[in-house]
Structure 1
Amino acid sequence: MGSINKQIIRVGIIGCGEITQVAHIPTLGFLSDLFQITYLCDVSNGALKLCRNKVIGPAPKTTRDANELCSSSDVDLVMVANSDAFHVPHIKLGLRNNKIVFVEKPMALTLKEADEIIELEKQSLGKLMVGYMRRYSAGFIDAIKEIGSLDRICYARVRDIVGPNSVFVTQSGTFPKTFSDYTPEDSKELSTRTDELLEQALTKELDIPVTPASALQWRHLGSLGSHDLSAMREALGMPTSILGASLCSTSGPPFWSALFQYPSFAVSYESGIDGVPRFDASIEVFGENKTVKVVFDTPYVKGLPTNMHIREKLEDGTYRESVIRRTYEDAYTLEMKELYAFAALGKPAKTTAVDARQDLEIFGMIMKAGQAGLPIRHIDYFVFAPLSSKQSRHEVDLQEIRRLDLSVPVAKAIRATELRTRGATRVGAAYVVRAATAVANEGVAGWAGGRN
C-alpha cells in the first residue's frame, strides 16, 4: 500500500459524473491541506477533460482503465463514484491493490456481492468506508444523542419526498456537464451487468420476478432509499419485522412506503420523487414528553445546514419548541474530514461494509412485503396443483399438496387478491387450491388447515 504517513492523502477518483463534479472535486479542493486528487478514471474522455480542469492544484493523471488507477503508486485512496452497477468490481480492484477505498452508497446491490466485499476486506491490507454523508451531518449526530436521552420511544417517522434532482444541481453553482462519448461496448457492459445484478438480487435472493416495476423500485431503494434507511438504522437500530409496504409504480411519479415494527414501537417510512422543486427529508422520533426531529436539505447546494427540531414538555408543564443549528458546515465536508481521519489517522469508520449490508436486508423486507401485499411473516398461500383429467379439485387433499415439488412452475404461491380474480377456474393444466395460512419461508411444513 502506498505510504500515507504524511499530511496529504492522494486520491484517485473512479467516475467523473454528477456527484464527482458537484460534490467531491469541490469539497476535496476546499480541503487541499488534507487531500490531493492525483488520478481520474472514466469511460468518457469529455468528462475526464472537464474534471481534470476543475481539480485544484497539479493536474491529475487520467485514464479509462480503473486497474491502472488502483495499482498506481500515486494513489493512496480510491474513491468509487461511478454507476452503482460497477461499485463492487472497483471496490475489489482497490482492496486487491491494498488501497484505502471510499465508495458512494449503495456499496452493493446484492447480498452475494456485499458478502464478497466483507470477506475480501478481511484479506486486504486496505480498508473500506461507505459514503452515507447524511450520517456525518452535525444535526444528525446531535439528534442521535437526543434520541438516546428519551425515556422511551413511542413512534417514529422517516420521510424523504423530493423534487427532481436536476433542480438542485443546476442551482448548485458547480456547473456540471453530462457526456455521451462512451462506446457501444461500454453501454452494453453496463446494461448486461445491471440485468445480472437485478436477477441475482430479486430472483435468486428474494424469489421476486424481475419486472420493470420491481427493477425500478430496487433502483430507487439503492439510490434515494439508502440515505433514509441507513440513517434510520443508526438512529433506531434494525427493525424486527415489516408490517406492510406499498411499492412504486412505473406510471406516474414514483412513491413508496412501509411500516416497520420494532420491539416496542413502529416506524413509518415514506418516500417519493415528484415535480415540485423542494427537498422534504426528515427523521422524527416521538418520546413520551419530547419529540426529536432532524431535517435534511439537499446536499448539492453547499452550506445548507442540517437542523434539529425539539418539541417538549418541561417540568412545570410549559411547552417549548427549539431549532438547533450547530454549524453551516455541510454533510459532504464533514464526511470528508471523517474520511481523512479514517485514512490518515486510523480512526474506525461507522459506515462499514458490514453496516451497508443491512440496507440490502431492509430493501428485501420492503420488496417482499410490497409484492405480497401482506406482512411477510403471515401470508395466505395458494398453490397451482396439477390434476389428472379424471380428478376433481375436491379429490385433492392437503397431504397431496404438501408432497408437491414447489420448484416446478405449476406450484407457485399467488396472492389472495389473485384468487378472488381467478376464482376456481382452470389455469392451463392446473386448478387453484387453497393450502391455507402459512408462515413465510416455512414452506409446506408451515401449512395448516383443510382443502378449499
Structure 2
Amino acid sequence: MPIKIGLVGAGEVTQTIVLPNLRLLSDLYEVNALCDISQQTLEHVSTKFNIKQTYTDYTQMIEEGDIEAVMVLTADEYHAPIAVEALQHKKAVFVEKPMALSQQAAALIIKARDENNGVVFVGYQRRYSPAFEEAVQIVRGMSSISYCRVRDIIGPNSIFVGQSGTFPRKYTDFPETSSADMKRRSSEIAEQALGSAETDSQAYNLYRLLGSLGSHDLSAMRELLGIPKGVCGVSNTTPSNAGGFFTAMFDYGGFVAMYETGVDQVGLFDAHIEVYGDGKRVKVEFDTPYVKGLPVKLVVGESDKDGRYIERVVRPTYEDAYTIEYKAFYDAVRNGKQYKTTADDARCDLEIFKMITDAFVRQDK
C-alpha cells in the first residue's frame, strides 16, 4: 500500500529530483500534499505534478493534510522545527540532510521521535548506493589503512540542473516576513552551535558549507572510517556555499584523511572517496544527482604478484541512489525495517562540523 506523503518545500531539489522519483515510485508513494511559502511555486509545481492539496503553512498541512509521512525539503533553518511538529502529529519523517544544525535542535528531534515511537529517516542518498556499500565492506575488512582522501569539488549546480531535463522554475514571491524569520533562525543556530549569534563571520560561513555540501562527504567518511580523533589542520581559505575552496586533515590515529571541498565555475562534478590500505586503493566515484541514472562507480586498484597494475571498475547498478533511498524509507515506515541514516547517526555529523570549525577559528588566533 503506498505511503500518503506530504512535501514541505517545492524548490529546485524537489522539482528536479524528489518529485520525479516519487512519481516513478507510484506503487510506494502517493503524493497528496505540497507546502511552500511561494504561492507561484505552489501553483506551478502542484499543477505540473498533479498534487491536489496545497498549503503555505506547514503546520496546516501536517494537521489537515491526508498524509501519514512528511518530507522536509526546505531551507536548512527549518528542518528541525518541521520534523518535530510532524513527529508530534504521529507522522513519519524523511528529512534531507542536514537533519539539524545544532545539538539542541537534534536533541529535540530525537526526543519527539522517542516520545511518539516515530521514524526519522535522514536523506544521505550517497550512502545507499550499492557501490558505496560494497566499498564499506572492503574497507572494514582491511587489516590496516594508510591514507584516505575525501573530495567534493563541483561546478555550479545550475550547469547540471539546466541539463537534467526536468525544467524547474524559481519564483520570488515570498512573504515580507520570511527574510527576517530566516535571519532570526540563522542567528539562533549560530548562537547554539558556535556560541555567537553572528551570521556573517567566516566561521559561520564555513559551518554552513559543512552542513550543506560537506554533510554528504563527512557522513560517508564516518560510515567508512568512524569519527576522527581530531583535526590536524585546516586551510586558511574562506569558503562559503557561493564558492571557494577548503581543506581539512583528520587524525585517525595510524593514518590521516584529507578532506577537500569547493565550488568553482567548471562544469565538472568531482566527488569521490578513496582509501589506501592492504596493498590496494578503493575509490567510490559519485556523479551529480541532478541527472538521473548516472551510476556511482567503485574502482579497486592493486598490483598482482608480477607487479602489474590491475584496476577493477564495478557499477553494481544504474538505479540511482535516491530511488534506492526512497525504497529504504518505505520499508522503514511500512515494514519496520531497520535503516542506517537515523537521527542519532546524523547527530554525529554535528560533532565533526564543530571539530573543523573550532580548528579554523584557532588558527586565526
Q: Calculate the TM-score normalised by the size of structure 2.
A: 0.96
The answer to whether 1:188 aligns with 2:180 is: yes
The number of equivalent residue pairs is: 364
1:343 partner amino acid: V
The answer to whether 1:215 aligns with 2:204 is: yes
The answer to whether 1:27 aligns with 2:16 is: no
The answer to whether 1:112 aligns with 2:118 is: no
The match for 1:13 among 7, 13, 17 is 7
Q: Which residue of 2 aligns with 1:274?
A: 264
Classify the secondary structure of the residue corresponding to 1:327: coil
Q: Is the 8 A contact 2:46 2:52 kept in 1?
A: yes
Q: Which residue of 1 aligns with 2:321?
A: 331
Classify the secondary structure of the residue corresponding to 2:26: coil
In 2, the alpha carbon distance for the partners of 1:39 and 1:144 equals 37
Q: Is the 8 A contact 2:209 2:239 kept in 1?
A: no
Q: Is the 8 A contact 2:94 2:121 kept in 1?
A: yes
Deviations 1:336-355 (A, max 9, x none): 11111111111112001111
The match for 2:223 among 207, 225, 234 is 234
Deviations 1:70-110 (A, max 9, x none): 12361111000011001011001110001100000011111
RCO higher in 1 or 2 (8 Å CA, sep ≥ 6)?
2
Give the 5 Å matches for 1:97-108.
97-108=89-100
In 2, the alpha carbon distance for the partners of 1:247 and 1:210 equals 19
In 1, the alpha carbon distance for the partners of 2:169 and 2:236 equals 32
Q: Which residue of 2 aligns with 1:45?
A: 39
Q: Which residue of 1 aligns with 2:275?
A: 285
Deviations 1:291-314 (A, max 9, x none): 100000000100000000110123
Classify the secondary structure of the residue corresponding to 2:146: strand
2:218 partner amino acid: L
Q: Is the 8 A contact 2:21 2:322 kept in 1?
A: yes
Q: Which residue of 2 aligns with 1:171?
A: 163
Task: Structure 1: state its 5+ residue gaps.
Answer: 1-6, 374-413, 416-452
2:52 partner amino acid: P
Deviations 1:411-451 (A, max 9, x none): xxx83xxxxxxxxxxxxxxxxxxxxxxxxxxxxxxxxxxxx
The match for 1:261 among 242, 251, 257 is 251
In 2, the alpha carbon distance for the partners of 1:173 and 1:153 equals 41
In 2, the alpha carbon distance for the partners of 1:241 and 1:137 equals 28
Q: Is the 8 A contact 1:106 1:223 kept in 2?
A: yes
In 2, the alpha carbon distance for the partners of 1:247 and 1:280 equals 22
Q: CA deviation at 1:210?
A: 4.8
Higher mean Cα deviation, 45-54 or 209-218? 209-218
1:229 partner amino acid: L
In 1, the alpha carbon distance for the partners of 2:214 and 2:254 equals 24
Query: Could you say if the C-alpha distance between residues 314 and 151 of structure 1 is closer, same or farther in structure 2, counting changes exceeding 3 Å?
Result: farther
Q: Is the 8 A contact 1:22 1:172 kept in 2?
A: yes
Q: Is the 8 A contact 2:187 2:198 kept in 1?
A: no
Q: Which residue of 2 aligns with 1:60?
A: 52
The match for 2:120 among 128, 136, 145 is 128
2:217 partner amino acid: D
Q: CA deviation at 1:317?
A: 4.3
Give the 5 Å matches for 1:370-409.
370-373=360-363
Classify the secondary structure of the residue corresponding to 1:343: helix
Q: CA deviation at 1:264?
A: 1.8
Give the 5 Å matches for 1:425-444.
none
Q: CA deviation at 1:247?
A: 5.0
State the 4+ residue runs in structure 1 displaced beyond 6 angstroms.
Answer: none
In 2, the alpha carbon distance for the partners of 1:349 and 1:372 equals 37
Q: Is the 8 A contact 1:99 1:125 kept in 2?
A: no
Query: Could you say if the C-alpha distance between residues 349 and 250 of structure 1 is closer, same or farther in structure 2, counting changes exceeding 3 Å?
Result: closer
Classify the secondary structure of the residue corresponding to 2:300: strand
Classify the secondary structure of the residue corresponding to 1:71: helix
2:225 partner amino acid: L
In 1, the alpha carbon distance for the partners of 2:261 and 2:206 equals 11
Q: Is the 8 A contact 2:247 2:260 kept in 1?
A: yes
In 1, the alpha carbon distance for the partners of 2:146 and 2:200 equals 37
